[in-house]
Amino acid sequence: MRHWILVLLVCIAAGFKSQAQVSFSFVPELQGRTVDGLFQVRTMNAGARKTVNLQMTVTEKSAGLIVRIQTSAFDLMPGNNPLPASVARQAGLTFSNDKAAAVTRQSGYFLEGDYDFCFELVEGKAGGSVLAEQCFSYMLQPFSPLLLVKPADGEQTCDKRPAFFWQPLLPAVPGVQYRLALVELKPRQAKTEAMNINIPLINQRNINTPMLFFPAVNKDLEEEKVYAWQVTAYKGATMLAQSEIWEFKCQCSPEEKDSQPEAFRDIEDLARGNFYLAEGRIFLHYAIPTPREIFLTALSPLRMCVKRLKSCAR
Q: What is the CATH number of the domain that holds 201?
A: 2.60.40.10
Same-domain pairing of 234 and 155:
yes
Same-domain pairing of 226 and 163:
yes
Q: Assess if residue 255 is contained within a domain.
A: no
Same-domain pairing of 167 and 107:
no
Residue 262 pLDDT: 53
Residue 9 pLDDT: 37
CA distances from 119 to 122, 225, 255, 295 (A): 10, 54, 66, 87
Q: Assess if residue 157 is contained within a domain.
A: yes
Same-domain pairing of 13 and 45:
yes
Residue 185 pLDDT: 95
Q: Assess if residue 199 is contained within a domain.
A: yes
Same-domain pairing of 103 and 215:
no
Q: Assess if residue 69 is contained within a domain.
A: yes
pTM of the model: 0.60
Number of compact structural domains in the chain: 3
Closest CA to 52 of 73, 29, 37: 73
Which of 110, 140, 170 corresponds to the end of one domain? 140
Q: Assess if residue 223 is contained within a domain.
A: yes
- How far, in Å, CA of 44 to CA of 47, rounded? 9
Q: Assess if residue 296 is contained within a domain.
A: yes
Residue 260 pLDDT: 55
Same-domain pairing of 9 and 133:
yes
Low-confidence ranges of the chain (pLDDT < 50): 1-18, 302, 310-314
Q: What is the CATH number of the domain that holds 29?
A: 2.60.40
Render pLDDT for 86-100 as a digit per residue (tens, 0 to 9). Answer: 999 999 999 999 899
Which of 92, 111, 140 corresponds to the end of one domain? 140
Which residue segment(s) compose the domain that 278 sits in? 260-314
Residue 172 pLDDT: 84
Same-domain pairing of 277 and 236:
no
Which of 250, 277, 293 corresponds to the end of one domain? 250
Same-domain pairing of 50 and 85:
yes
Same-domain pairing of 164 and 222:
yes
Same-domain pairing of 89 and 168:
no
From the CA atom positions of the chain, what is the Rg in Å?
Answer: 34
Same-domain pairing of 89 and 37:
yes
Same-domain pairing of 100 and 203:
no
